[in-house]
């Protein structure tokens, strides 16, 4: 009986490893394109398990990004807060990433902060306006 479990465990972990190797991580990226204000952009994302801390991007800095695999059982989500303005008085909280029923592999969610609003593009979708800024 015990042997059956060990055998099952081996099969499952082999399967897990090979699908992990084939499934590229998903990436969420943030870009400061605050063309007019040239404001600093503050990015703070967290999931159930990880708090990624504060990141500050100057105008046209290289994108800040992070990558991860979708969780097998629990829906992976990253809640993000973007802030801009001289006193970071403009901000928006939203889901920077939310898993679907199907496990995604190699997805790219590219968020772009512009003066008027926050935009998103993905591998499949051209850039579109998603959220406007809230002000204190």
Ligand X SMILES: *[C@@H]1O[C@H](CO)[C@@H](O)[C@H](O)[C@H]1NC(C)=O
Q: Which of 115, 116, 113 is nearest to 96 (CA)?
A: 113
Cβ-based nearer residue to ligand X, 15 or 24: 24
* Binding-site member from 43, 80, 82, 114 for ligand X (CB under 6 A): 114
* Binding-site member from 25, 27, 37, 99 for ligand X (CB under 6 A): 27
CB distance 54 to 64 below 8 Å? no
Site membership for ligand X, residue 33 (CB under 6 A): yes
* Binding-site member from 44, 52, 59, 65 for ligand X (CB under 6 A): 65
Site membership for ligand X, residue 29 (CB under 6 A): yes
Residues from 41 through 60 that contact ligand X (CB under 6 A): none
Residues in Cβ contact with 87 at an 8 Å cutoff, skipping those fewer than 6 apart: none
* Cβ-based burial of 32 (10 A; exposed 0-12, middle 13-18, buried ≥19): buried
Q: How many CB atoms lie within 10 A of CB 41?
A: 25
Site membership for ligand X, residue 70 (CB under 6 A): no
Judged by CB under 6 A, how many residues of this single chain contact ligand X? 9
């Amino acid at each position: 009986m015990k042997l059956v479990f060990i055998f099952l465990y081996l099969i499952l972990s082999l399967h897990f490893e090979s699908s992990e190797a084939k499934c590229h991580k998903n990436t969420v990226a943030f870009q400061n394109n605050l063309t007019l204000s040239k404001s600093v952009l503050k990015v703070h994302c967290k999931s159930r398990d990880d708090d990624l801390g504060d990141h500050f991007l100057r105008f046209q800095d290289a994108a800040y990004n992070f990558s991860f695999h979708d969780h097998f059982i629990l829906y992976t989500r990253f809640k993000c807060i973007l802030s801009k303005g001289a006193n970071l008085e403009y901000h928006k909280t939203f889901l920077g990433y939310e898993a679907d029923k199907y496990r995604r592999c190699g997805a790219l969610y590219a968020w772009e902060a512009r003066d008027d609003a926050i935009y998103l593009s993905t591998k499949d979708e051209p850039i579109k306006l998603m959220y406007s800024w809230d002000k204190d």
